[in-house]
Amino acid sequence: MEKNTYSMFNISDEIIKLSSEVENEINEQVKKIDEVALFNQAKVLKAFNEAKLSQMHFGKTTGYGYDDIGRETIEKIYAKIFKAEDALVRIGFVNGTHTLATALRACLMPNDRLLAISGKPYDTLCEVIGINQNPLSLISYGVKYSQIDLDDRGNIKIDEVCEFLKSNDVKMIHIQRSKGYAIRKSIEIDDIKKAIFKIREIKKDIIIMVDNCYGEFVEEKEPVEVGADLVCGSLIKNIGGGLCEIGGYIVGKQKYIKLCSEILTCPGIGKECGATLGQNKNILQGLFMAPSTVKNAMKSAIFASRIFEKMGYEVYPKYSEKRSDIVQAIKFGNEKDLVAFIQKIQELSPVDSHVVPYPWEMPGYSNKVIMAAGTFVEGASIELSADSPIREPYVAYMQGALTYESAKLAICYAASSIEKGE
Ligand SMILES: *Cc1c(COP(=O)(O)O)cnc(C)c1O
């Protein structure tokens, strides 16, 4: 039976054998993932019940979108789940970068200083901040920027951060939970907690923002619970559960959410406007699915990690290491194998499997990027996807899968093709 399944995609006997070995080895991790998913599902369900979610919230508004009760309920539910004072959950956010840019622009005025303490922020933020030149960047507006890199083991250099805060006036701190296009580990909630505690000892009212992209529902806690003021993310990643078609969220302190809403829309309008065009049901049903979808993504990540490790590749993280995001990095070391892996993942995608991805100049990125994204929602990286900037050390970043089964087939297929040298 098993063999027949795999033979539909010409997966080799060696990889079939390896796959079943790997599934035995990852058992213990899978159990932990199941427990976290159960806890997060309970959290989501409880929030839905408390908000008395009902059919009427799935309705559609157009135009200004005044009194959109569905939108208001969504924001109440997000605030509950994240244990935040307030939330801004909007289809007007075009992506995760837009939420982060909104939070930064809402809080920083000319001469204020932003300090990034988990190293260089995600590629697309470099132009927002002005690390890469743009006439509308924060730096162009007179915001000052400083950065403290992670140490060799991927930890926040908290002592250095504290020293910096003592001798500089810093308005806002940026922490990125997920690895982005870097082979560092993701930053665990517990480590974010420790860092925030030390920072607050020195400067109580500093604004701490966490880039939560790829992090939602990977652990039992989220960054607001350990003291973050603003937490941002994309609805076409974890929290959208694969059903959201567009959007982003910011949760946190009410006074900052108000500022964010006035940057997203306009001063004086803020959260009051924003038609939802019939997307409320997708946002809510996606949120309901998200703990389970993230579970599938996590299982797929550790499965890929172990299989490629056994094939002799460096993988980050290893299957048994603790994780705070859904991203699995596999180092190929050269452009050819990296591109081959990504193309193979595309070949076993549900959408556009016949299309071959090539590296291209993506807006917001300074290197060429190749992406396997055979997804129902364009670019949704909670669906199985693999991407990489074309630069040393040629690492594929794989994430997602709506179902573990589809990821398992695609990973085995890619592994099999690479093993055969196809
Ligand atoms: C995906 C991601 C973002 C935002 O990317 P968008 O494509 O704009 O949604 C920001 N930070 C990190 C760490 C990410 O993984």
Q: What separation, in Å, do the N-terminal and C-terminal C-alpha atoms of the chain show?
A: 26
Confidence label for 289 from pLDDT (cuts 50, 70 and 90): very high
**pLDDT of 1 higher than 60:** no
Nearest CA to ligand 1 atom 6: 96
* CA 236 to centroid of ligand 1, rounded, Å: 10
Q: What is the pLDDT of residues 5-46, one digit of tens each?
A: 999 999 999 999 999 999 999 999 999 999 999 999 999 999
pLDDT tens per residue across span 324-343? 999 999 999 999 999 999 99
pLDDT band, very low/low/confident/very high, at 2 (cuts 50, 70, 90): low
Q: Name the nearest CA neighbour of 282 among 250, 248, 241, 249.
A: 241
- What average pLDDT does this structure show over 385-407? 95
Supply the residue whose CA is at minimum distance from atom 9 of ligand 1.
96
Q: What's the whole-number mean pLDDT along residues 242-251?
A: 98
Q: Using DSSP, state whether 374 is helix, strand or coil.
A: coil
Q: Is the pLDDT of residue 391 over 70?
A: yes
Beta-bridge mates of residue 207: 172
- The CA R_g of the chain, rounded to the nearest whole Å, is 21
Q: According to the model, what pLDDT value does residue 366 have? A: 82
> Tell me, what's the pLDDT at 396?
96
Going from the Cα of 314 to the center of ligand 1, the distance in angstroms, rounded, reads 24
Give the whole-angstrom CA distance, residue 357 versus residue 377: 17
Rounded mean pLDDT of 168-185? 94
pLDDT confidence of 127, banded at 50, 70, 90?
A: very high
Cβ proximity of 256 and 290 under 8 Å: no
Mean of pLDDT values over 92-116: 98
Given pLDDT bands bounded at 50, 70 and 90, which one contains residue 187? Answer: very high
Cα separation, 330 vs 355, in Å, equals: 23
What per-residue confidence (pLDDT) applies to 216? 98
What integer is the mean pLDDT of 251-265? Answer: 98
Ligand 1 center from residue 264 Cα (angstroms): 18
Pocket of ligand 1 from Cβ distances under 6 Å: 95-97, 122, 124, 176, 178, 180, 211, 213-214, 234
Closest CA to 25 of 291, 310, 219: 310
pLDDT, average across residues 203-225:
98
Burial of 223 (0-12, 13-18, 19+ CB in 10 A): buried
Measured in angstroms, how far is the CA atom of residue 122 from the centroid of ligand 1? 7
**CB neighbours of residue 72 within 10 Å:** 14
What is the distance of C-alpha 362 from the center of its chain?
18
User: How many Cα atoms occupy the beta-carbon half-sphere of 391 within 13 Å?
Assistant: 11
Asked whether the CA dihedral 242, 244, 246, 250 is positive or negative, the reply is: negative
Question: Can you list the alpha helix ranges (DSSP code H) found in 265-334?
Answer: 280-310
Instruction: For residues 212-235, give the mean pLDDT.
Output: 98
How do 207-211 and 385-389 pair as beta strands?
unpaired
The CA distance from 383 to 400, in Å, is: 5
Ligand 1 atom nearest the C-alpha of 176 is 13
Q: Is 1 exposed, middle or buried (0-12, 13-18, 19+ CB in 10 A)?
A: exposed
* Alpha-carbon gap, residue 255 to 236, rounded angstroms: 26
Structure tokens at 10: 């010409």
This prediction has a pTM of 0.97
- Residue whose Cα lies nearest atom 14 of ligand 1: it is 213
pLDDT given at position 39: 98
**Averaged pLDDT score across all residues of the chain:** 96
What's the mean pLDDT in 265-282? 97
Q: Is it the case that residue 302 has pLDDT exceeding 70?
A: yes
What angle is formed at CA 173 by the lines to CA 79 and CA 202, rounded to 5 degrees?
Answer: 105
Residues in the chain: 422
